[in-house]
Structure 1
Amino acid sequence: MRNRLSLLAAILAIVISCCACGNTSTTAESGNTFSIQDFTGRELSFGHAPQRIVALGNGEADIIYALGGNLVGRPTSELPESLAGLQNVKQIGTAHEVDLEQITLLRPDVVLGNNPMNTKDIPTIEGIGSKMLLTSANSVQEITQQIVLFGKLLQKDDRASELVEQINSQLAEYKSAVASNSPKVLLVYGAPGTFMAALPSSLGGNILELAGGVNIAADYPRLQSYPQYAQLSNERIVQANPQYIFIMTHGDAEQVKDSFLKEMSDNAAWNNVDAVKQGHVEILPNDLFGTNPGTRVMEALTLMRDQLSAN
């Protein structure tokens, strides 16, 4: 009850403040109004480049930070070293669980969320006087599209073009250097007791293919609730006999790895899988693979390529 009253009080304060301002500022900025279109096709108009930005994901925070934008709210999660400068920025939950009270108190111009996860939150965010811009990052290409879009949002198109050019030039080098003898790989996402196979339509799956790996789960039927992932099949994994198994997680790395190996070992043939015999079952860094790495996506691709060429 106390949290609800606090939220209502914060919203009321914003409404009163906006009424007191009148229409003067809107009229003054009307000549500078510009519009952008988010990944859902929604058009959002701004009177000026947003000065107060909330990001619900580390990838979005990373891009805004690289473009020189002002973040007043960031995800409630451990920050990678590259975002240490945001340590004191207010934490506002995640795309999975938005802390509306904290966001309301921050009075952001725009909230950067995930499509489709935060589609349901649009009316609520708009109800507190903010705009919600939705994007997704299911491939390296989508991350470059995020950079371009956020560049337009911040009126930093030149800087955005520089970042995209860096990624594209590195991609071109990778494509020309991909080996012909591509190893077979199982890419897993999960937590103890809950594991899914990453499909090529996921960011991790896209990075795997760009790095030269063959995704053994490419033809697995996708999950309805998580369309970039598929249910694991112990029998199909054993049959495909991957040379590498990589695990992505938000949780405790070793605990997740032990839980996965224990679950898979129910199949007597599991220990004959090449990845298991050769000790090629690895946890990938969660700041590069457990979430959207933003402008650091080429670090993830480099790490994946190095893993595939090891031993």
Structure 2
Amino acid sequence: MSGYLRKVIFGIICLIAIGGLFLGFRSHEGDTNNISSTRVVTDSTGREVTIPTHPKRVVLLNASHLDLYYYAGGKETNTIVGKPTSEALSDEVKEGTKNIEQIGVIHNPSVETILKLQPDLVIGVNVPFHQQLIPTLEKANIPVLIKSLDTYEDVISTLGFYGELTGEEEIAQAKIKEIEADYEKAIARAENKTAPRSLIIWGTTDSFSMATSKSFTGDLLKRLGGNNIADNVDSVAKDSGYIPLGMEYIATQDPEAIFVVTHGDVDAVKNSIDENLGQNPLWQDISAVKNNRVYVLPYQLFAVNPGTNIAKAINILADDLYLQE
């Protein structure tokens, strides 16, 4: 073999070797790009949970979180793959998520459906039904984040957090500013005014409770200066959001405005109130009843935390509390 030929063969071998190294480097780079970054967050149960920095497949277990995630960029990124079966959704969210698979009602989510959807993040609220999902889903390497939504501040902070997850911080912040502006209008209406003595009734077809300021609606009422008679009960536990309804106590306190939050079939709850409370002479003698100031609050805004519609909820309360002044 001539020296020239040996040089040519050697050159070809070198080129093949270099090409192999280059291809190997490119393949490794591709693998690196496919590895999602993660972050560690502390949820409302105190657990430290490792979640994707920007999840690609998210399942929301309740209506409030679905609403917040949708308006924090979930709509734009199309990252929502599972939603709860719920009537407590705005028409816009219902329409925007009409093709998203339902995973069941808040109190009975389907583990099988969630696993089938292969999410990289599941988000729920601090209730036993969602906490019970954690062991099964974590075994499948699916992180579960539990986030409470008890107050106005919870809504604002969660909306901002979801904007980080979707990578659409500007969209989330714009929504926050919109909510804050409407919220401040409601708060301003309560300045220098004396709120009427108020009662919040949480009603189902089976039972009625009085809501304290530790409840969601009670917290909103308190922000408006509402004088909630349930807070005056001596036996109320420090963190109790709901206490048994006592007709004698209500009659003694004589509320001037009554707000009714229905849970379940709205018409059925209204009928139950008429049958169980309306026939009681003590009820008929209450100032709020005599003056036609018993307000049944909109189901979608008060039966659950209304998410991005929280400012709308507090403005409705302000309308009724101060007679739209």
State the 1:171 CA deviation: 3.1
**Structure 1 residues 227 and 65: CA distance shift in structure 2, 3 A:** same
User: CA distance change for structure 1 residues 30 and 175 in 2, over 3 Å: closer, same or farther?
Assistant: same
Equivalent position SS for 2:55 = coil
Structure 2 distance, partners of 1:59, 1:94, is 13
Could you tell me which residue of structure 2 aligns to residue 11 of structure 1?
Answer: none
Partner of 1:137: 149
Match status 1:75 vs 2:79:
no
- CA–CA distance in structure 1, aligned partners of residues 140 and 219 of structure 2: 37
Q: What does residue range 194-205 of structure 1 map to in structure 2 within 5 Å?
A: 194-205=207-218
Aligned to 2:38: 33
The answer as to 2:105 corresponding to 1:94 is yes
> 2:262: which partner in 1?
249
In structure 2, do the counterparts of structure 1 residues 121 and 138 end up closer, same or farther at CA, with 3 Å as the change threshold?
same
The residue matched to 2:203 in structure 1 has which SS? Answer: strand
Checking the alignment, whether the CA contact within 8 Å between 1:223 and 1:229 is kept in structure 2 is no
User: Matches of 1:205 and 1:24 in 2, distance apart?
Assistant: 54
- Deviation string 1:44-71 (CA, Å, 9 cap, x unpaired) is 2234411111111111001111022221
Aligned-partner Cα distance in 1 for 2:38–2:149: 27
Root mean square deviation, CA, Å = 2.6
**Percent identity over the alignment?**
31
Distance 1:25 1:126 in 2: 28
Distance across 2 between alignment mates of 1:219 and 1:152: 41
Given that residues 258 and 293 in structure 2 are in contact (C-alpha distance below 8 angstroms), is that contact kept between their aligned partners in structure 1? yes
**C-alpha separation between the residues in 2 aligned to 1:208 and 1:149?**
26
Residue number in structure 2 paired with 1:159:
171
| Rounded Cα–Cα distance in structure 2 between residues aligned with 1:158 and 1:271 | 52
Q: Secondary structure at the match of 1:193?
A: coil
Q: Where do 5+ consecutive residues of structure 1 fail to align?
A: 1-22
Query: Are residues 97 and 24 of structure 1, via their aligned partners in 2, closer, same or farther at CA, if it must alter by over 3 Å?
Result: farther
Unaligned runs of 5+ residues in structure 2 are 1-27
Aligned-partner Cα distance in 1 for 2:31–2:91: 39
Superposed displacement of residue 29, structure 1: 5.1
Please say which structure displays the higher CA radius of gyration: 2
Change (3 A) 1:47 1:278: closer
8 Å CA contact 2:73, 2:172 repeated in 1: no
Equivalence for 2:56? 51
Q: 1:113 aligns with which of 119, 124, 132?
A: 124
Distance change >3 Å, CA 197–CA 27, structure 1 → 2: farther
Output the amino acid matched with 2:99: N
TM-score (structure 2 length as normaliser): 0.80
Task: Return the offset for 1:234.
Answer: 0.9
Partner Cα separation in structure 2 for residue 55 and residue 32 of structure 1: 21
**1:91-133 CA distance string (max 9 Å, x none):** 1123321211111111111111111432232112212331111
Q: Give the 3-state SS of the residue equivalent to 2:132 in structure 1.
A: helix
The correspondence for 2:138, drawn from 118, 126, 141, is: 126
1:260 correspondence with 2:273: yes
Aligned length: 288
**Structure 1-normalised TM-score?**
0.83
Q: Alpha-carbon deviation of 1:187?
A: 0.9
* Greater CA drift, 46-55 or 192-201: 46-55
Secondary structure at 1:112 match in 2: strand
